[in-house]
Amino acid sequence: MKKLRQKNGFTMAELLIVVAIIAVLVAIAIPILNTQLEKAREAHDIATMRSAASLAVEYYYAGVKDEDSAIAAGLKWWPNHGNDANAAGVYDPSTGKFLPKRSTDMKKAYGKGTKNDSQKTYTYNSDRQIYAPSENYSNAVCMIALYPNGNNKHIDVYWKDISNGNYIGGPKNSNDPKYSIRINID
């Protein structure tokens, strides 16, 4: 009897089918992975905003209500707004503090979100959008403005583009950033 010869590998057709299946799976997985990465970047930016808001509230209750107390806290005081005089500063997520006003780190962007819209909407109290997924935050820093005096005591937390000084989603000369967390006090 003749001994049958054993097959020692895959045929070219079998290999091409396996490669095609892998290519289809990768083509399906990459957009899903990109969407999930963008959601993670946006979640990082929102967490940064919430940390900055928490620290600003802490500073308000610690007594940041005038120029001396603002400077001691590492914030810049803007007295030219009358009753709406405010303290403002750049939040540093790596230290959990506000940067001194002359710090070179104020020009280091740390926003993570890009224009790859994750199709998620972020709102605050269902009436104010706090973060726009369609905007680019990769060249921005998180800032706070603390308004401790007057009838409308509040804190705004927002992102500012360091290349042009504009609020994300609006011009820098606006008194009300388009996308921000606003915390009313008292």
pLDDT digits (tens, 9 = 90+) for 36-45: 888 888 889 9
Segments making up each domain of the chain, as ranges: 12-184
pLDDT confidence of residue 2 = 65
**Cα gap 138→110, rounded to integer Å:** 6
Tokens of 97: 């503090």
Q: Residue 172's pLDDT band (boundaries 50, 70, 90)?
A: low
Q: What is the pLDDT of residue 119?
A: 64
- What is the mean predicted confidence (pLDDT) over 53-82? 87
62 contacts 74 by C-beta, under 8 angstroms = no
Instruction: Note if the pTM is more than 0.85.
Output: no
Structure tokens at 126: 């269902």
Name the token pair of 168: 């994300």
Give the distance, in angstroms, between the CA of residue 108 and the centroid of all CA atoms in the same chain. Answer: 14
Compute the chain's Rg from CA coordinates.
Answer: 25
**What's the average model confidence in pLDDT over 168-177?**
70
